[in-house]
Structure 1
Amino acid sequence: MKKYLPLIFVVVLVAALTGCGVSQETSDGADDSVLVFGRGSDSVSLDPANVTDGESIKVTKNIFDTLLDYAEGSTEVVPALAESWESSDDGLVWTFYLRKGVKFHDGTDFNADAVVFNFNRWMDKDNPYHQGNFPYYGYMFGGYKGDEGHVIKEVVAKDDYTVEIRLNFPQGPFLSNIAMAPFAIVSPKAIKEYGEKIGEHPVGTGPFVFEEWVRNDKIVLKKNENYWLEGYPKLDKLIFKSIPDNSARFMALQSGDVDLIDGVNPDDVTLAEKNPALKVWLRPSMNVGYLAFNTEKPPFDNVKVRQALSMAVNKQAIIDAFYNGLAEPAKNPIPPSIWSYNDDIQDYEYNLDKARELLAEAGYPNGFTTDFWYMPVPRPYIPQGKKIAEAMQADFEKIGVKTNLVTEEWATYLEKTGNGEHSMAFLGWTGDNGDPDNFLYVLLDKDNAVAPDAGNIAFYKNDELHDILIKAQQSGDIKERTKLYRKAQEIIHEDAPWIPLVHSTPPLIGKKNIVGFVPHPTGSDKFVKVEFGK
């Protein structure tokens, strides 16, 4: 047996989100046990397994715990609800030894039966509590029960505090996947009580308890007085408030209405650095912002069209205008911070003449007209969606491609792009677990080019790529996986289903006296140790 014992520390992640706003009295320190986080948009749902958007996961990360978690500031897997774990020599059986004495917020016991209940809910479409699409489960574990590529065979409670997860075949990133926020353990009692409404009544074991949700305004969480990590959390309340406009959010911080913000305009970083009352944090870069072509729709089913548009975008000019130096041009779907990054690949050069030639070869000598979908909310990788879209719109027009800018409310945008209703669309990804699989398989494999919750919104399908990604997924040899992922990036670059735009280093700005805040590279953090200094 391969034994994995915890180091002498406990999982505690810390913060990075968006949105908040409360009274001047609260934020100015009259009540220094309440932190208000200003963010760009509301959550879609607070059922962690049924969402993929960062604004939802930022909140659920503070309500729920996972079996495993990531160390502060990195994607090293560490204990959480499971204190230790071990695997069989063939990697097909994983045994987790659970933390004892933990309670859900509704007072019920966390135990092995609760873990089994959650896994069965996620993976079995015939389970009565499988109410929703559970997209992340399908992304990370090869589909659902009965699917050919499904990784997990069964989950069994060996006793009250021992769980065995049996696999159909080994999975290289298995532990990293288990630690992801979507696989948080929800109270079975609450699921049975609220059914498909559980996303409005979240009940976990995490450091904060759900108190109130005013749609498109704020989500209020209160301290879990019985949290299993003794002495934490430090805050009595954590409030996420939605302020869609970046400038308005920064003004709310300056006026004391909020304590911490993300989705920051580049110029505001410079202003904040000059303000002695404020502090700037930089989240470690592990993301990509991209323009996806819907390869199932003409003219984007033609690789020469996709390559032509790739040559028409001046990425460096976009970074200079909208990122204040806190980004680098992207040439691959994974960022340089992810192992197996293929730096040998040469990006498509910015060459308008060559772009026009390729369009003519594709049968569009005079260009064409299409819709261009842009995100309505600031994201870490695309902080000003409309303005960046307008800059790219001007680039495309230089080669005869005219675009109509389109957007939707955030939840609707995600729904429609996941359903393939777009022609080309902005989206991006912040890595969930530090593994290349989390980018390449989730975002570009044919398994995930399936409506209504496509992770692969390019609807790009390449059988050679699929075989490589599955082989890499099932290998435990990091050298072999690295070689396979480098080849995968070559295939993707040639087929150009995306224009990878940037890898950003997202800034956050907050009050100088905030302590214990360490932005996590996944963008999904717990405010367990955060407090206000004196």
Structure 2
Amino acid sequence: MKRILAATACALALTAGAASAQTLVYCSEASPEGFDAALYTSGTTFDASSHTVYNQLVEFVTGTTEVRPGLAESWEVSDDGLTYTFKLRPGVKFHSNDVFTPSRDFNAEDVVHSFMRQIETEGTWEYFQGMGMPDLLESVTAVDDLTVEIKLTKPEAPFIANLAMDFASIVSKEYADAMAAAGTPENVNQKPIGTGPFAFVNYQTDAVIRYAKNEDYWEEGLPKVDNLIFAITPDASVRYQRLQAGECHVMPYPAPADIQAMKDDPNINVMEQEGLNVGYLAYNTTVAPFDNANVRKALNMAIDKNAIIDVVFQGSGQVAKNPIPPTMWSYNDAIQDDPYDPEAAKALLAAEGIENLSMKVWAMPVQRPYNPNARRMAELIQEDFAEVGVDVEIVSYEWGEYLSRSRALDRDGAILLGWTGDNGDPDNFLAVLLGCEGRENSNRAQWCHQPFEDLIQKAKVTSDVAERTKLYEEAQVVFKEQAPWATIAHSVVFMPMRPEVKGYVVHPLGGHIFDEVTVE
């Protein structure tokens, strides 16, 4: 902790000398796994990469799920829904760094490379693979320097919204080729180059990330600050102290117990918004006895979710019964949640022949809106499971390792995780987190259940929203019957910041976006 604070203080001192330069300091909650957004699914990594360094063909208007032009000025879709033609923005510049200076502007080759590398190159392209993109994309072709044609193997209703997601960030083919030729391909991930509002300057591991304004940014007037610093501060109480002291301007994920004090402090402005999120406990459905839906249902009935809401969320959350949040279209409010009933849970476990069960519950090492204190939540679940004769060992790892290990098919027990929507479409929860193609990737329950799969795949290729709604409502019924997760909570998102911060918008998709922010 001392090293982190000392490094951050040094960063602030370095930027404070330029009186005319406007610097925004964001006390981020964890270290990024890397800076190539396509390789990861963590919001921490997206904040440090795709929300700062990169652009996508299309982008979400900050604060909404409305799609607007990004690196593509316009697009057309064929009548059969299989061919998308994008007209690219001319004159867009890539950043430079100490190992590479681009010789040309952004063009169609970069778009083709950004998608085809996730099909043709070995690697953990977790989001791309989990969404079934390798099977969906028939071809990605450069028609000319400023025109790209994407052909699909089948219609995909949320396809345009999917292209605004982080995995679809556009990277430089010229940079990738140069680094491969130099024998340093890792620089693409460690020294990122994009077209985004901020250029990466350097990263002091686990301490500070520095960015500078992209002076050639294609969107006129943006970004509005000259320097952006991510001061990595894992402890919520330390983030709060640093916000109070004016050492950072914005902090995410406050401890629920601190929120009221923050609201009462005239030197802190607390923004809030209903989160498009869900926190859950995912059983590994490939490992006995968690391959038995009745065992999973029994364990769900042993969890006192109201106690978790009271103790962990302290008024900032609500009990979740579905895998999608109630603010999302197609939410099936008719679903009945599993009752909290330890006696019935014990009886059901006994009926399935389960005695002296021991299991692991994985607790995240970082805070998220959908789980502000995973360790405490795991302890409450541990106590609840003990009441029905199940012995729990709580385990945790460093965040990157936690995410990596949790993908294993033979992972023991159940894992606490959660999700904030990436595109405002139910497919982003139901298919990405629970679909068969997501196994060993974003589907941490390793669950593949054909009746559920048939419903969500049919919804993908249906353009009528009313019909898609019916299919997703049915899918939620199947989910509840099969119980691959214990759905725990949906939460309100709180964003505390200094009053001198202007223009910040809480984004429903969970990203922390600073291109329109100023510091007065």
Query: Taking structure 1 as the reference length, what is the TM-score of the superposition?
Result: 0.90
Query: 2:455–2:475: 8 Å Cα contact kept in structure 1?
Result: yes
- 1:271 maps to which of 256, 261, 264: 261
Give the letter for the 1:109 counterpart.
D
Residue matched to 2:71: 81
Q: CA RMSD in A?
A: 1.7
1:330–1:502 CA contact under 8 A, matched in 2: yes
Q: CA deviation at 1:27?
A: 7.8
Q: Is the 8 A contact 1:342 1:489 kept in 2?
A: yes
Match of 2:48 in 1: 59
Is contact 2:88–2:107 with CA below 8 Å preserved after alignment?
yes
> Does structure 1 retain, via aligned residues, the 8 Å contact 2:62–2:513?
no
CA apart distance, 1:206: 0.2
Match of 2:378 in 1: 389
Given that 1:65 and 1:205 are in contact with CA atoms closer than 8 Å, whether structure 2 keeps it comes out as yes
CA contact (8 A) 2:142 2:149 kept: yes
In the alignment, which residue of structure 2 is the partner of 1:229? 219
Tell me: CA distance 1:189–1:512, structure 2 relative to 1, closer, same or farther (3 Å). same
Equivalence map 1:82-481=2 (5 Å):
82-106=72-96, 107=102, 108-124=104-120, 130-140=121-131, 142-144=132-134, 150-194=135-179, 195-364=185-354, 366-420=355-409, 421-449=411-439, 451=440, 454-481=441-468
Query: SS where residue 505 of structure 1 aligns?
Result: strand
Question: 1:192 & 1:48 partners in 2: Cα distance?
Answer: 18
> 2-side partners of 1:434 and 1:213: how far apart?
32
1:485 matched to 2:468? The reply is no
In the TM superposition, residue 39 of structure 1 has moved relative to its aligned partner by 2.0
Q: By how many angstroms is 1:29 displaced?
A: 11
Note closer, same or farther for the CA distance 1:254–1:170 as it changes in structure 2 (3 Å cut): same
Structure 1: gaps spanning 5 or more residues = 1-19, 125-129, 145-149
Mark the CA change 1:263 to 1:116 in structure 2 (over 3 Å): closer, same or farther.
same
Matched residue of 1:95: which SS?
A: strand
Q: What is the alpha-carbon distance in structure 1 between the residues aligned to residue 311 and residue 33 of structure 2?
A: 30
Corresponding residue of 2:4: none
Structure 2: stretches of 5+ with no match in the other structure: 1-6, 97-101, 180-184
Partner of 1:519: 506
Please say if residues 21 and 227 of structure 2, whose CA atoms lie closer than 8 Å, have aligned partners that are also in contact. Answer: no
CA contact (8 A) 1:367 1:400 kept: yes
| One-letter amino acid of the counterpart of residue 526, structure 1 | I
Task: Please give the alpha-carbon distance, in whole angstroms, between the structure 2 residues aligned to 1:184 and 1:480.
Answer: 31
Give SS of 1:46's match.
Answer: coil
Distance 1:224 1:336 in 2: 38
Q: CA deviation at 1:139?
A: 2.2
Q: CA deviation at 1:324?
A: 2.8
Q: Does the 8 A contact of 2:276 with 2:328 survive in 1?
A: yes
The alpha-carbon deviation at position 28 of structure 1 amounts to 12
- Deviation by residue 1:450-496 (Cα, 9 ceiling, x = unmatched): x3xx2111111111111111111111111111111111111110000
Q: Give me the identity figure in percent.
A: 41
What's the counterpart of residue 37 of structure 1? Answer: 26
Post-superposition offset of 1:354: 0.9
- AA partner of residue 167 (structure 1): L
Conservation of the 8 A alpha-carbon contact between 2:359 and 2:412: no
Is the 1:211–1:222 contact (alpha carbons within 8 Å) kept by the matching residues of 2?
yes
